Amino acid sequence: MITLRKITLENRRAIFNLEVSEEQRRFVASNLSSVASCYVLATNGGHPLPFAIYSDEQPVGFVMLTYGITGYEIPSIAHDSYCILRLMVDKHYQNQGYGREAMNKILDFIRTYPAGPAHYCWISYKADNLPAKKLYESFGFRDNGEIFGDELITVLTL
C-alpha cells in the first residue's frame, strides 16, 4: 500500500538516494536538490510540502507539492493553486503501478486543501516526456496552452 510520509532525520538519506534512470534525469531534479528548494520556497513566502512515497515500509519515491509560490516568475495558473512541482519513482520501482497509486494519494491529499483553498492543481512537464503526459491526462489534467520555460503546463480542476 502506498503512503505519503514526512521526510525525517531517520528516512532522509534513503529518500536522497532514490534516483530515476539515466535517461530520465533531464526531467526531474534530485531529491536532495528538491528538499533544499523547499527551504528556499518556505523562506520566500511559499508553502512547500515534500513527502516520501512509501510502499508499505519501503521508500520508493518522492513528491514535492507547493502552494502560493511567490517571488518567482511563475505560470499564470500558479496563484492560489497547488502544484506538483516534483514527482519521481525510483528506477527500481518503476512500471509497477507505484506512480499511479502515488498520484491518487497526492490528489486526495491536495483535495484536503492543507495550505489554503484552491480551484486548480498544475504540473509542468517536458513535451517529450510522454509517460508523464499520459499519467497526468489519465487523472484529468489538461494542457492549458501555456509554456513555462521549456515545459508545458497541464491543469486539473479540483
Could you give the strand order of the β-sheet that contains 49-55, starting from the edge strand earlier in sequence? Answer: 2-5, 49-55, 58-67, 82-89, 120-126, 151-157, 142-148
Element containing residue 143 per DSSP (H, E)? strand 142-148
pLDDT score, position 100: 94
User: How far apart (Å, rounded) are the C-alpha atoms in residues 77 and 84?
Assistant: 13
Average pLDDT, the chain: 89
First to last CA, the chain: 24
Per-residue pLDDT band at 98 (split at 50, 70, 90) = very high
**DSSP conformation class of 26:** T
Q: Nearest-CA neighbor of 108 among 93, 121, 89?
A: 121
- Predicted confidence at residue 39, as pLDDT, reads 85
User: HSE of 38 in the Cβ direction (CA atoms, 13 Å)?
Assistant: 18
Is residue 40 classed as helix, strand or coil in its secondary structure? helix
Higher local confidence (pLDDT), 32 or 50? 50
State how many domains the chain has.
1
CATH number of the CATH domain containing 148: 3.40.630.30
Higher pLDDT, 10 or 39: 10
Mean pLDDT of 114-138: 93
Domain that includes residue 64, residue range: 2-157
